[in-house]
Amino acid sequence: MNLIHFKSLSDERGSLLAIEGNKDVPFDIKRVYYIYGTKPNVRRGLHAHINLRQVAICIAGSCTILLDDGSTKQEVALNSPMTGLVIEELVWREIYDFSEDCILMVLANNHYDEKDYIRQYDNFLELANEK
């Protein structure tokens, strides 16, 4: 599992955390999206990407992410704005246990492209095992 620890700049006013592409995350950032206001017992994700690289940061509250590379499954609890989880291509992800106040921010190295999604777990396993 690849976690990044971001440096937070704190002073008597509070904290500020800056993330720069190719410096703090290992790619140029082309897209940012966030998931928030998630309803109880929701499970999101349930897909992999053919090419996309992402870093997920729980900037408020908490959630759990399951990462599955086709042979190993890992569960990661995210609950800090200072921690980024790198999610590489061809990794199946499921996101759950969202706290009511969870804001999950995701940085991505490419624009949104539905064709890059693998939404069937069987297809994912085939592609992951071809690697």
Binding site for ligand TYD (CB under 6 A): 31, 33, 44-45, 47, 112
| Cβ-proximal residue to ligand TYD, closest one | 44
- Which residues are registered as beta bridge partners of 117? 49
Element of type H or E holding 123: helix 121-130
User: At its nearest, how many Å lie between ligand TYD and the CB of residue 6?
Assistant: 21
CB closer to ligand TYD out of 42 and 77: 42
CB closer to ligand TYD out of 31 and 59: 31
Contact 109, 54 (CB under 8 A): yes
CB closer to ligand TYD out of 49 and 128: 49
Q: Which of 5, 47, 49, 111 is catalytic?
A: 47
CA end-to-end span of the chain = 18
User: At its nearest, how many Å lie between ligand TYD and the CB of residue 92?
Assistant: 11
Distances, alpha carbon 95 to alpha carbons 20, 45, 101, in Å: 25, 6, 15
User: At its nearest, how many Å lie between ligand TYD and the CB of residue 71?
Assistant: 22
User: 49 catalytic, yes or no?
Assistant: no
Positions annotated as catalytic residues are: 47
